Amino acid sequence: MKEAKHFLKVTTLVLYATFLSLTPAIVCAADRLSPGELLRAETEQQITSANGQYRLIMQKDGNLVLYDDARRQLLWESNTRGQRVDRVIMQRDGNLVLYLHSGKPAWASNTAGKPGSFLLVQNDGNMVIYRPQGVWASNTADSQSTLSPAVPNPIPPPEMQKTEKPAATYLITTKNDCNVRSQPNGKSKRITTLNRGQKLQKISQFENWHNIILPSGKKGWIHKDLVKNVD
């Protein structure tokens, strides 16, 4: 009888340890998401810069938003408001991804292939993925900020925290009546329609969709089959 109870206890501990190893960690560091850590939309989990001014929150409405609380400004957003987003996770492969309740991705930083990367909300208002150099940034740094850096300084040191913008990539439409959507899917709101030969600046890519800047300055998504790279 004692042996049976001991066996049951050991089995329970092993199963519990296995469950913990397979379950993504909930964020614990105040200003960053380490590999495997996540923020839940249901409880509006958030992380805050070390100086307390900048806040990244996974909102209930499905939007991941970076706020400047001192100036009461929205600095950056994932533009996923209204979608049934469950969580945002800093994956162990280096990709920052928003997942729907269905398990499908709604947005990604497209930085997979860089394991060990972490997301940091900096004291200058910039949100950066590091490994250890910056591999993605929200480009929301406040050049006018007079705030002192955190003590100790975030890793890597301040001189490495400004990431250079890559050379701009341009696309050109290859067909008439090209729909530009608000989200990277064919069912989202149509922003505008473009004809053949329209040159567009590419920001990023998610699966078969390019995130682009329109001549008006607005941003949108266009399917890869409707454009080609400008040589």
> In the predicted model, is pLDDT for residue 11 greater than 60?
no
Torsion sign (Cα): 219, 167, 111, 186: positive
- Of 129-133, 146-150, 156-160, which range is least confident? 146-150
CB distance 85 to 70 below 8 Å: no
As a CATH number, domain 169-229 is 2.30.30.40
pLDDT band at residue 72 using 50, 70 and 90 as cut-offs: confident
CATH topology agreement for domains 27-160 and 169-229 = no
Write out the CATH class of domain 27-160.
Answer: mainly beta
Close Cβ partners of 20 (under 8 Å, ≥ 6 residues apart): none
Residue 131 pLDDT: 79
Residue 227 pLDDT: 93
To the question of pTM greater than 0.85 for the whole model, the response is no
Where do the domains of the chain lie? Answer: 27-160, 169-229
